[in-house]
Amino acid sequence: MDFSKHFINIQKGRWDMIVVDAVVGAGKTTLMKILADERGLTTFEEPVVDNPLLDKFYHDRERYSFSLQIFFLNQRFRHIKEAAKINNAVLDRSIYGDLIFARMLYDNGEMSSEEFNLYVNLFENMIEHCQAPKLMIYLEISVDEAIQRIIQRGRDYEQIVEHSYWERLNYYYREYFNQYNSSPVLTINVDGLDFEKSPIDRQYVLSKIDQKLLELME
């Protein structure tokens, strides 16, 4: 699939923010909170808690795919506008990669062509008002490890999802980040890492981020 045509609508320039993106279960929110604690960044968390549609979506994806994606798109646009007003913001997922889920759901027949085209039109209208982040962090993870973390996390609505859904999501994420070129990207493979509980793993991840940010300042 071709994601590249959607990148060109992002305005030139960089907003002073870091985006952490990855499939479900990779540790986006955990890393975002670590960056807030260790580096003093201001967080903008993905609207998962108190989301009125997420549980319904996992029980009936075809019915709720469009409404959920519009909910996320609207919330992420609000977050990114707020984050753009301050220095040193960090977001766990953002509007830049929002298209990944919509494209996957459309390709799998769980979003109609009319809904997808409307979604893309709205996405492109919004992205024209955005600048890319100073750094995009992609947490790369294997499907099996992501599923293990999802099981351990224990959210009921995630436990009913079939293995093939997580496989497709991982594939679409890899395709997206193979094409993404709107900002610098730091890819960190997090298989076998526990940067939440292990100080060694946490320092390893933070040092890679610090090094990348220093390189971008040169």
Residues making up the binding site for substrate: 46, 58, 69, 93, 98, 158
Active site includes 16? no
Cα 44 → chain centroid: 12
Which one of 16, 60, 92, 156 is the catalytic residue? 92
Per-residue b/e over 77-112, b at no fewer than 16 CB within 10 Å?
A: bebbeebeeeeebbbbbbbbbbbbbbbbbbeeebbe
Residue 145 identity (one-letter amino acid):
E
- Note whether 44 and 82 are within 8 A (CB): yes
Q: Cα 29–181–78 angle (5° rounding)?
A: 45
- Adjacent-strand bridge partners of 43: 90
- Note whether 54 and 48 are within 8 A (CB): yes
Catalytic residues: 92
